[in-house]
Amino acid sequence: MRYLLLLVAITGCIDPIDARWQLDHDHVIVARATPPRVREGEGTNLDALVAHEGKPVSVEAPQTAEVAQGSANFARYLTQEDGSWVLHAPDARTLAAARPALGIDENAPVPVEVVLTFPHGNERAGLDPFHVRKTVWMGEPSTNPDLPAITVDGVPAPDEGAEVVLPIGRDVYLSADAGDGQRVNWLTNVGTLFQDDVATSFLRVAPTDSLSGELVVVVRDREGGVAWRVWPVRAE
């Protein structure tokens, strides 16, 4: 009995943890490198899609960026330019010299891991920033994927920025025609989302839920690429 009371006392002090699909709290949804893979001598811009409590999502440049310890030899190729962080790929000789230590094949792309930080919202500005790791591949080109066809409730989703109107009280299916090797995540702050990490998800809005907010889909590919789309949402 004493143990039970102690357990209740402890758990009663823990704030509820938001579901991973829930937009209505400060967190970094996904980091992006544009492009995700770069040729020798080219650069990639680093940013992220960030969610905020009580506010719309935003695309933000990192507050700080640094090359992770295992990629420290590439630190001098990371620069801040006009408020953006850019990672440059060195010449072919430098990449060739890095491959043996990494245990990768000759001519294979070289992974460089970068640690990015993003601040909390104004109400929690005193907290330590979010730290996010992003890997950029050097020595071969690649682009971020095009977003696949998206349907909402059986009809093509509107363009980004156009409003999605949802019914109240029934399941609404969300589907992405994802290609081979692509992974899909859905996020929202309207209703309850089920199966948020598969290509076909569904959403149900109850009358007591928030009836306005946003819907986000994120698509990742096996090349390190990222694509997303954000819609304003209203339920009626």
203 and 162 assigned to the same domain: yes
Q: Whole-model pTM?
A: 0.89
41 and 127 assigned to the same domain: yes
115 and 81 assigned to the same domain: yes
Residues 112, 87 contacting (CB under 8 angstroms): yes
Instruction: Supply the range of the domain harboring residue 193.
Output: 150-235
In a domain, 107, yes or no: yes
Is the predicted pLDDT of residue 211 greater than 80, yes or no? yes
pLDDT in tens, 58-69: 999 999 999 998
Q: How many domains does the chain have?
A: 2
Which of the listed residues 81, 110, 138 is the one where a domain comes to its end? 138
Is the predicted pLDDT of residue 13 greater than 60, yes or no? no
- Tally the residues of the chain: 236
Helix (H) or strand (E) holding 5: helix 2-11
87 and 188 assigned to the same domain: no
In a domain, 22, yes or no: no
Which of the listed residues 138, 172, 196 is the one where a domain comes to its end? 138
Q: What is the largest CA-CA distance in the chain?
A: 69
In a domain, 16, yes or no: no
pLDDT in tens, 53-97: 999 999 999 999 999 988 888 999 999 999 999 999 999 999 999
Rounded CA-CA distance 211/216 in Å is: 16
41 and 128 assigned to the same domain: yes
127 and 158 assigned to the same domain: no
Rounded CA-CA distance 147/154 in Å is: 17
162 and 126 assigned to the same domain: no
103 and 197 assigned to the same domain: no
